[in-house]
Structure 1
Amino acid sequence: MCAHPNACPDATSEARDLAAVVSSHPEQGWSLLCNGVVLFDDDGELLPDGRAVGDHHEWVVRPELVSA
């Protein structure tokens, strides 16, 4: 159970990667979040129940910001 003043999203939530980082290992490319999720630098996730989740974000390219 999260003890932060604003509770972190549960590991089953779509917003699970917004939980607070409790252990960061940038040299190895991963961080442990408060909700038990391991978040990798490529935005992949390992959930507490052992399931692996690929990057679920939708990245949008704004043409006006891309140089020709």
Structure 2
Amino acid sequence: MCSHRPPCPTADSPDHHAAVIVASHPEQGWNLLCNGTIAFDDTGELLPDGRVVAPDRTLGRLAVAA
């Protein structure tokens, strides 16, 4: 898919999210990357082969009432 130089990381590489955005839809919360990955604003991803990368939902410290 990638036709520019240097080529973007493939959808199978660990840094696949670093590929160039070829279509942006901020009103819908997603971008299409040149390696075929769809990256969502919540950090979730849909890979070209249909696999899903779950959003990174890191929990902060929970306040405990004393």
Q: What range is the shorter-chain TM-score in? A: 0.7 to 0.9
2:13 aligned residue: 13
Root-mean-square deviation (CA), in Å?
Answer: 1.7
Separation (CA, whole Å) in 1 of partners of 2:21 and 2:8: 10
Paired residue total: 58
Give the AA of the match of 2:8. C
Alignment TM-score, normalising by the size of structure 1: 0.77
1:40 aligned residue: 40
Identity of aligned residues (%): 58
Runs of 4+ in 1 over 4 A off after TM superposition: none
Stretches of structure 2 that go unaligned for 5 or more consecutive residues are 59-66
Stretches of structure 1 that go unaligned for 5 or more consecutive residues are 60-68
2:2 aligned residue: 2
Alignment TM-score, normalising by the size of structure 2: 0.80
Separation (CA, whole Å) in 1 of partners of 2:26 and 2:7: 24
